[in-house]
Amino acid sequence: MRLTVGLAIFEDIAAGVLDDEAAIKAALERAIEAGGFTLYDLRLVRFSPQGITGAAIVGESHLTIHTWPEERKLFVDVASCGDPAGVDRALDAIEKALPGARMSEVEVRTLGHSPP
């Protein structure tokens, strides 16, 4: 197996959006669709006093999202054993799905090796 993992931070998103479960779920769903992933399970947890975490299990691996409304930031982690381009497309979709979002940090890593 060979895994591509994309880690990204997005800034400048309205705090209200980052604390809105429907908006975060929709952004995650758009990322899953854009990445060409097959969704198996999607869960969201809303924290007190604010902040949301979403975790999606997909056939290709996973997508997780964590929001910090007080800093107007979110973190996305996309891991895929499929086409590496799907990871980039998923990250782009998050940026497009959330008004004002600007990717301020991104790291894409490759782990694992194909069997001999």
Q: Which residues are catalytic?
A: 61, 66, 81
Contact criterion met (CB below 8 Å) for 39 and 58:
yes
- Taking the alpha carbons at both ends of the chain, their separation in whole angstroms is 11
Q: Would you say 3 or 14 has its CB closer to a second copy?
A: 3
Task: Kindly state whether residue 68 participates in binding a second copy, applying the rule CB under 8 A.
Answer: yes
Q: Would you say 14 or 81 has its CB closer to a second copy?
A: 81
Contact criterion met (CB below 8 Å) for 98 and 17:
yes
5 residue type, one letter: V
Task: Kindly state whether residue 66 participates in binding a second copy, applying the rule CB under 8 A.
Answer: yes
Distance CA 54, CA 56 (A): 7
Contact footprint for a second copy (CB under 8 A): 1, 3, 5, 7, 9, 40-41, 43, 45, 47, 53, 55-57, 59, 61-62, 64, 66, 68, 71, 73, 75, 77, 79, 81, 105, 107, 109, 111-112, 115
